[in-house]
Amino acid sequence: MNSLKERLLRHKKSIAGTQEREEEVKILVGEEPPGSAEEGRAAHGESNPESAAELDEWSVVGAAMEHTEWGDFVIRRRTYEAGFRHGKYELGRLSSCAEELFALLEPAAGSAASNRSAAPFHERLLFLDTETTGLGHGAGNVPFMVGVGFYQGNQYHIEQMLIRHPGEESAMLAYLEQKLAAHPVLISYNGKSFDWPIVKNRYIMNRMELAAEPVGHIDFLHPSRSLWKHTLPSCRLGRVEEERLGVQREEDVPGSLAPTLYFQYLAQRDPSVLEGVFVHNELDVLSLAGLAVLFGCLLNGSYDWSHARLFGLEECFRLGLWLDKIGRSDMADTVMNALTEELLVADELASEEPCLLPLAQFCKRRGRYTQACSLWSRYIALKGGRATASLEPYIELSMYYEHKEKQWERALAYAQDALDHLWRRDALKRSGERKSSALSGNRAKGKEEREEDAEVVSLHKRIERLRRKATRVTDAIEHEVSDSLLLTKSSARTRTKLSSGSAGQAPTSVAQGATSAAPRVPQSTRKRKSGLSAAEQLSMPL
């Protein structure tokens, strides 16, 4: 042990002696001793070249170091004026339609957001997007970059915070909390299930209390799916901004490459590696503001439904459903009425058939049975001859004429058409499955087969019920005709006997005949005298 200490001391002495000799040589040749230059610059108020170089290295990506009481991190700031157009929409337009976004908040969150501050609503919005080291929700997934956007007046500001190592995360989170306190309504894209839970988890991991949580959170993924799930191949933010905002990204770094580039920066310490990640995150935050303008214009009516018509009738129908879902029933009715008129007037609807039946169901829920029946009839005219056609319009029309119009014969005809169509459809399926079932032997019925059997049984019951009702109506009509004939003959005989008797007094036999004829009036005639017709009596439950 003593020998080891002696060797270490000799090694330190040799190093010290070498350094002293080097300093002496530098002084002899006219060079300044170490530390003298730094001390001189400090005395004259000059900055350290290492810190200056540190600041300059982030200028290549337009960023700089941010020094706070919690620590340091990298920040990149951008400001966009009100007239800046991101795709089709000017960002400053949100100030006139931001109040409409209250409809996308939950009722409790909406009231809290409205009472939190007297500032205009668009200034209370904080647009959030993160870049993380992975896709999971565990402790190992770290948001190395957090981009936020907010309005001050009509100017849109974007700030992107980056940590160079895990030690700077607490400083970044403390800065983000200040932004949340100033802008308490959060807006994101898939942020309710990804971005915000990860950020919130980092506060827990850093043992930081999040004092100012958002009073409301609007996730634009949900209205995007309601509007474009059936008309776009994907509802990713990149696809939505391209197809509906008109934004074209050129040479954009995919979000999936952001973790790889960050790990490359950690290995090389070259800030220019992250330039594409900064630009990608900035465009995401810009697109959030563009979507806010789009949804605000949809909700205040300045974006007319006819604009959605350019993307097809299916998108118009989805727009109407979405407006009805968030409580804008009047606007939804306007869209649906215009769509119904176009569907009924158009000559050919080869590509627009999918929205016929859902639109008919919407009209039925609204109580507009005339429009619903017209749409069901339109569907039968277009696809009634196909084996893949739905039974829904036949059954719905049968139910309507049975329960609303009391036209049993017509309701029976639609029910029989439904049963015939069902047998034709199943005949093709049975012929294809006959060989496979013969080879595999007896097998248990699947769920679809059981549902089809139940549908057949239900149709048979409906047909039998309608046949009984139609038969009773026919019998009632025949009874009415026979009763009217009997009454006509009886009154004719009475008039004949009266005319054959004296003019002042009716014969006793005639009076007795009239009295005896009264009990022979059929029971159905007495029911009619009580104020109920035979058809009304038949409409009562059997």
Arithmetic mean of pLDDT, 407-413 = 90
Arithmetic mean of pLDDT, 336-350 = 80
Task: Find out whether 360 and 369 touch, Cβ atoms under 8 Å.
Answer: no
Question: Which residues, 6+ apart, have CB-to-CB distance to 135 below 8 Å?
Answer: 141
Please say if the pLDDT value at position 45 is more than 60: no
Task: Find out whether 374 and 380 touch, Cβ atoms under 8 Å.
Answer: no
Amino acid, res. 177: E
∠ Cα 183 179 105 (to 5°): 30
pLDDT in tens, 215-236: 999 999 999 999 999 999 999 9
Of 305, 300, 367, 357, the closest CA to residue 334 belongs to: 305
pLDDT at 117: 56
Length of the chain: 542
pLDDT at 489: 66
Please say if the pLDDT value at position 462 is more than 60: yes
Please say if the pLDDT value at position 484 is more than 80: no
pLDDT at 536: 52
Arithmetic mean of pLDDT, 164-177 = 95
pLDDT in tens, 235-284: 999 999 999 999 999 888 988 899 999 999 999 999 999 999 999 999 99
- Run of H or E including 14: helix 2-28
Task: Find out whether 393 and 357 touch, Cβ atoms under 8 Å.
Answer: yes
Of 180, 183, 203, 189, the closest CA to residue 120 belongs to: 183
Arithmetic mean of pLDDT, 482-502 = 66
pLDDT band at residue 39 under the 50/70/90 scheme: very low
Number of neighbours of residue 234 by Cβ within 10 angstroms: 11
pLDDT band at residue 52 under the 50/70/90 scheme: low
Question: Which residues, 6+ apart, have CB-to-CB distance to 201 below 8 Å?
Answer: 137, 139
Arithmetic mean of pLDDT, 47-56 = 53
pLDDT at 440: 53
Range picked from 30-39, 41-50, 167-176 for highest mean pLDDT: 167-176
Q: What is the DSSP string of 69-110?
A: TTEEEEEEEEEE-TT-EETTEEGGGGGGTGGGGGGGS-HHHH
Tokens of 141: 């997934």
Higher pLDDT, 320 or 347: 320
pLDDT at 300: 87
Of 121, 91, 86, 123, the closest CA to residue 105 belongs to: 121
Backbone phi and psi for residue 158, each to the nearest 5 degrees, phi listed first: -120, 130
Please say if the pLDDT value at position 463 is more than 70: yes
Distance from C-alpha of 97 to C-alpha of 84, rounded to nearest angstrom: 17
Arithmetic mean of pLDDT, 193-199 = 94
pLDDT at 478: 60
Number of neighbours of residue 17 by Cβ within 10 angstroms: 10
pTM for this predicted structure: 0.74
pLDDT band at residue 388 under the 50/70/90 scheme: confident
Q: Work out the percent of the chain whose per-residue pLDDT is above 90.
A: 46
25 in helix, strand or coil? helix
Distance from C-alpha of 537 to C-alpha of 480, rounded to nearest angstrom: 14
Q: For the chain, how are helix, strand and coil distributed in percent, rounded to 5? A: 65, 10, 25
pLDDT at 367: 92
Please say if the pLDDT value at position 161 is more than 60: yes
Own/partner pairs for 327-334, CB < 8 Å, 24+ apart?
Answer: 327/103, 328/103, 328/299, 331/301, 333/366, 334/305
User: Beta strands 216-219 and 185-188: pairing type?
Assistant: parallel
Distance from C-alpha of 305 to C-alpha of 340, rounded to nearest angstrom: 13
Average pLDDT of the residues of the chain? 79
Distance from C-alpha of 244 to C-alpha of 162, rounded to nearest angstrom: 30
Arithmetic mean of pLDDT, 66-93 = 94
Lateral strand order in the sheet of 143-152: 63-68, 71-80, 155-162, 143-152, 125-132, 185-188, 216-219
Calculate the alpha carbon distances from 474 to 378, 467, 479, 481 in Å.
31, 10, 9, 11
pLDDT in tens, 13-29: 444 444 444 444 333 33
pLDDT in tens, 283-308: 999 999 999 999 999 998 887 777 78
